[in-house]
Chains A and B, each alone.
Chain A
């Protein structure tokens, strides 16, 4: 005869595990992060208006937004769902881990006309990943992005907030090397 839990017991175990998870993994905002967010609140008539900036403040330090979203929501008098609703709307707020360097490659029309696919394929070959993926060593994430407003120097991309234009295969190799790329599991050596 097999032993089965009653619904009540199932609930109890579920909540017990959840509590243990929170105790072990709850990430609190640092004092510094809180201060910087408080600073932003002064610009706006309502607290929630600072939410994009608050998310960016945390993301700047941690790379992406994890469970600390609950802390941010509490600071801004928002529910977690309300804040997640905003966070998932904007393409530059990351709700999943990204690599140490985020490469934003422009796939809009001026870059497409001047060689986007060559740039994308070259990056893919060197890094061994496609758009939306992160290298196995966690160094690079490759994300396609809408027009970077650098159409006069197309094709263009950004690495960690710095814009690079007039891209060629050689220029990309040089940039990757400067950001510490040597080899990845599937990618090619430089």
Chain B
């Protein structure tokens, strides 16, 4: 089984330096694209590959690029931005790539930047990834030295400067327009769309923002072709996927598997199943902004198109397991506290609604729940849902809440009836 994203990564070992990386076939796609392909051809190949955005939304990457105005009279400079602000709880896949193969990141940015003829690139990295930061800095210096970055790359006539921006916290920076405000030195508040960043992004110039894992696929698509890439997958979406599991399982971790691998295979074959003494109750399939799935869903394929048929989304593909020793109400309370704290405060439903959700859940969890609380939470799920807020943060917050009420309603009701949480006595 091929694992192009992680083939050069050996956990616990220092990543390859530029010479080792070149020897292993690294930077081949830069030569191929910059010297032998037109920018539009690179875009076309990525479009044909059915690569979809790995940040969670699953928007087709090639299509995203195609909205950038090209040609002589198109605005300049154009920007390419790596969204490495991985702060979705339960998600740790981009960290592995950045720490394990920083040159893979740079190679991918060069090829993607060439496809949209970008002049300047930024890697927007979250503050907590100190190891990745240090390794990226070293790799960037090496890449400049080898003329993969800077003026007239490898004599191709194409130039690109790539900078590292290390953020200072806040989940909302991962929203692509909030990220652009953060890069401009402002509060990270999402922007109104349209205009979309591809037309008017950083400092009003055309800008493409892609997730780390999406980028890492690009060199392999260019080297091996769209058909090869599609062949890696078990579903209509091309390629492999970094799947992860955390929670009380035997072996929490990350694995690169064919896109569309079933939840059961990931959970049982790779994560080793539940830890002794813990039973399975449910899971969030890809970060905390996705709806719960339960036992009956274990055999579905974890990919962008299948999961929505069962009321959830693949999201980041790094699942969080709810076990039978953990209170579902307490878990949703934890998630709601996170969302309320990380709300940027810009729009009223999110700023005011999420703290109300926290208050109600807190009351239920601490034995002060009342009749009507569950209905009140359901009302909030509607009022904070899609179409009522400025960005996707609050609708994301509602996903685990509404599905928890659906699958674990009996637990919510028991908390209210028995005036407290029966799990509180655990341990």
Contact = CB atoms under 8 A, between A and B. Distances in A.
Interface stretch (A7-15, A18-26, A27-35, A109-117): A109-117
Nearest to A161: B130
B126 A149 contact: yes
Nearest to A54: B185
Interface in B108-122: none
Interface stretch (A132-140, A150-158, A182-190): A150-158
A39 to B, nearest CB: 12
A96 to B, nearest CB: 15
Contact of B130 (A76, A107, A163): A163
B167 A109 contact: no
Nearest to B188: A89
Interface stretch (B59-67, B316-324, B359-367): B316-324
B163 A43 contact: yes
A86 B185 contact: yes
Interface in A96-122: 104, 107-110, 112-114, 118
Contacts of B128: 104, 145, 148-149, 158, 163
B331 interface: yes
Contacts of A149: 86-87, 91-92, 94-95, 126, 128-129
A175 interface: no
B27 interface: no
A51 B185 contact: yes
Assign chain A's interface to a size class: 35 or more
A162 interface: yes
Contact of A109 (B130, B169, B320, B342): B320
A148 B323 CA distance: 22
B170 interface: yes
Contacts of B184: 46, 48-49
Contacts of A169: none
Nearest to B275: A114
A90 B178 CA distance: 12
A86 B187 contact: yes
A34 to B, nearest CB: 18
Contact of B168 (A56, A150, A158, A163): A56
A152 B338 contact: no
Interface in B329-362: 331, 334-335, 337-338, 341-342, 344
B130 A53 contact: no
A48 B320 contact: no
Nearest to A86: B187
B246 interface: yes
A162 B187 CA distance: 27
B203 interface: yes
Interface in B146-194: 163, 165-171, 182-188
B246 A110 contact: yes
B88 interface: yes
A92 B168 contact: yes
Contacts of A107: 334, 337-338
B288 interface: yes
A148 B88 CA distance: 9
A151 B246 contact: yes
Contacts of A85: 187
B127 A152 contact: no
A75 to B, nearest CB: 12
B186 A86 contact: yes
A93 B167 CA distance: 10
Nearest to A43: B163
B190 to A, nearest CB: 13
B170 A162 contact: no
Max count, chain B CB within 10 A of own CB: residue among A46, A89, A151: A151
Interface string A78-93: 0000000110011111
A158 B49 CA distance: 39
Given A43-B163, A86-B186, A146-B338, A152 B92 contact: yes
A70 interface: no
Contacts of B4: none
A109 B92 contact: no
A48 B244 CA distance: 38
Interface of A: 43-46, 48-53, 55-56, 76, 85-86, 89-93, 104, 107-110, 112-114, 118, 145-154, 158, 161-163
Given A109-B288, A151-B252, 12 more contacts: A46-B184, A48-B184, A49-B185, A85-B187, A108-B90, A108-B334, A110-B89, A110-B246, A145-B169, A149-B86, A149-B92, A152-B246
Top 4 nearest A-B pairs (CB, nearest first) are A151-B246, A91-B169, A90-B168, A108-B89
7 contacts: A52-B182, A52-B185, A110-B247, A114-B246, A146-B341, A147-B88, A149-B95
